Amino acid sequence: MDASPGSEAHAPVAAAGVFRFELQAADGRARAGVLHTPHGAVETPAFMPVGTRATVKSLTPAQLREAGVQIVLANTYHLMLRPGAEVVAQLGGLHAMMAWEGAVLTDSGGYQVYSLADLRQIDDDGVTFRSHIDGSLHRLTPESAVQIQNQLGADIIMVLDECPPLPAEPPALEAAVRRTVAWAARCKAAHTRSEQALYGIVQGGLDAALRRACLAELVEVGFDGYALGGLSVGEPPPQMYELLDRFVGEMPASRPRYLMGVGTPADLVHAVGAGIDQFDCVLPTRNGRKGYAFTRHGTLRLRNAAHRVSREPIDSDCACYTCRHFTRGYLRHLFLSGELLGGALVSLHNVAFYQALMREMRAAITAQAWAAWQRAFLERPAEGPNNEKDSE
C-alpha cells in the first residue's frame, strides 16, 4: 500500500546499539533522513560507492571525502578470500586498514551466489564456493558470513541470502525466499557485535505477493534495516520500477530501506520516489574507467572524436576536482594513450556526480518540491551505457 503524502515524516526513530535511523522529512513517498553510525552520520538518500576489496578503485579516502561520500561498501566474499577476515581484524578492522573514517557497509556474499553461479554449490545449510583466484574450496554459511563481518568491523552488515536471476520460475523464487528467511534468522542469532547494524534482505523477484510474505517473516525476526535484493539481475527497468512502486511503501517506515546493486541515475530517482533510502552500484567507477562520464545533460563518451580539442570540462555545473582542472580534450588523450589517470579522474567525477544527485534529491524532499524535481530530472536526455552490477 502506498503511503499518503508526508505520512512518514514523523515515523518513530529506530535504535540498535549506537546505530539508529532518523527520518527527517517526507514528500509523497520520497524520504530524507540520517543514518547515525559509529563512524559518523550518513544523510539519506545515500549512494555508497563500491569498494569490493576495501578500496574504491583508483580513488583515495581523501578524494572520496572531497566528493561528498559518507559511506562505502565492501564485500565479504572477496575479503574472506584475500587478505582474510583475520588479517583485516589484525590490521585494526576495515576502517583502520583502509584509512577511511566514514561509515562502511559490508554485503554478505549473497550476491556472489548469483554472480558466481558456475563456481558454487548451494544447499539449505549454506554455499560452497570454488575460489575464482586459485580454485580452492570455501564454505559460507549464515553463521560464518556474520562472523566474518563481525571481524571486518563494518558499521552495517548484511544477512546471507539467495539471489536468483530473473526471469525465474515461481518454484525457484519460492525456494530462494525460503532459504533467505531461514538464513536471516540464523544470521541474527549468530550476530555478536551490538554496535553493528544488521539488515535483512527481501527476495521474491518481481512477485509482489512473495516479497510481502518474505518481508513479513523478516519483520517478525526483526532487523535494523531492510534491503531489496534480487533486482537489476536481468529484468527490464520498467518492471523493476513497477515492483518498487507497488512494494516499497509496505516496508517498515521507521527503518532504512536499501535497494542493492542499483543503478543508473534514472534508477535512483525512480527508487527514491518509491521510498528507498540507500543504494550501491559499481556503475560510477566501472563506467568511469571506460571513459563514460555522467552529467546533468546526459552521458558523455570521452573517447569520441568530438572531444579531441574540447577545452570544456566534463560538466560546467560540477565543482569536482576533475571538472575544476581538466578538459574533455585532455581526458580523451589520456584514454587513447592508455594512461590510468584518465579512468581515475572520470571515476572521481562520476562519484561526485552521484553524491551531488543525492544532495539534490534530499533538498527537493526537504523543500516539499519532490514531484516537480523528479519530473524535470526524468525529462533530461537519455543516459548512455546500461546499468552494470557486479563486484569492483
Catalytic (active-site) positions:
107, 280
Contact 140, 159 (CB under 8 A): no
Q: What whole-number distance in Å separates Cα of residue 26 and Cα of residue 31?
A: 4
3 state SS of 303: coil
What is the maximum alpha-carbon separation in the chain?
60
Looking at the chain, which runs of residues are DSSP E strands? 14-16, 19-27, 30-37, 40-44, 46-49, 71-75, 103-107, 120-122, 127-130, 137-140, 156-158, 197-202, 225-228, 257-259, 278-281, 292-295, 298-301
Q: What whole-number distance in Å separates Cα of residue 248 and Cα of residue 259?
A: 10
Q: Which residue has the cell 526471469?
A: 167
What are the residues facing 43 on neighbouring strands? Answer: 34
Closest CA to 1 of 24, 26, 29: 29
